[in-house]
Structure 1
């Protein structure tokens, strides 16, 4: 495809794992193919691949934003990614506690429930 796509696919696989990425790609249809290409190039090949922040920091920011915005459909995946990027269970808890102050207790409460399930499964 392109250098940006290839870089993005490598980062996406490193952060999310081959199993997750393979499943996402297997479910691609002609309708969703442009979106898969877009997120691989832009999110993973441009933003996640930048030198300005390490992956641990990017994972912390991502967890806080997903929790604060109530984007629960992505949160479990990024809790697993945060673990892959070296965050401990305690650090994930601290991110969500910090989120409670700035984004609200209900948002953090839901995020804690999702993270607890993922961490209990050892994912």
Structure 2
């Protein structure tokens, strides 16, 4: 099994470069319209949080070479189901489709999660994902 070498803390990228790379990935994964809404809703109280998630979640973690975006989406969907983060789960179902997962693969992720995160969590995930997946299948 190969592993991604860890990035040293001083990997040569500035905070500005991490932010720019994070914003690019964030837009590619979540869509311009989603990110534009999030940015438009930024307040002085949430500005630091928006900067944090753009630089760290998207610019540091989502840009790592160890997993492709499909695999990252599977991990995120599983985590959102297990933790009951319904709004984030719906957003990441859309993102998973953008990252190349098929509706049938997303169903498999939810089924797998039923065993490890619980049937009630998977039941909620199916309820939330159904309209998104139905719409995606209509475009196939």
TM-score normalized with structure 1 length: 0.96
1:60 aligns with 2:67: no
- Cα distance in 1 for partners of 2:69, 2:53 equals 17
- Cα distance in 2 for partners of 1:117, 1:33 equals 32
CA RMSD across the alignment: 1.2
1:111 alignment counterpart: 125
How many residues of Structure 1 are paired with residues of Structure 2 in the alignment? Answer: 123
- Cα distance in 1 for partners of 2:51, 2:108 equals 33
- Cα distance in 1 for partners of 2:60, 2:23 equals 11
Gaps of 5+ in 2: 1-14
1:90 aligns with 2:112: no
- Cα distance in 2 for partners of 1:117, 1:68 equals 20
Pairing of 1:1-123 with structure 2 (within 5 A) = 2-122=16-136
2:7 alignment counterpart: none
Would you tell me which structure has more helix in proportion to its own residues?
Answer: 1
- Please identify runs of 4+ aligned residues in structure 1 that moved more than 3 A: none
Gaps of 5+ in 1: none
- Cα distance in 2 for partners of 1:75, 1:92 equals 11
Q: Highest Rg: 1 or 2?
A: 2
1:53-105 per-position Cα deviation (integer Å, ceiling 9, x unaligned): 00000000000100111000101110000000000000000000000000100
Q: Once the 2 structures are TM-superposed, how far is the Cα of residue 120 of structure 1 from its aligned partner? A: 2.6
Q: Once the 2 structures are TM-superposed, how far is the Cα of residue 119 of structure 1 from its aligned partner? A: 1.9
Q: Once the 2 structures are TM-superposed, how far is the Cα of residue 121 of structure 1 from its aligned partner? A: 3.6
1:20-60 per-position Cα deviation (integer Å, ceiling 9, x unaligned): 00000000000000000000011000001100000000000
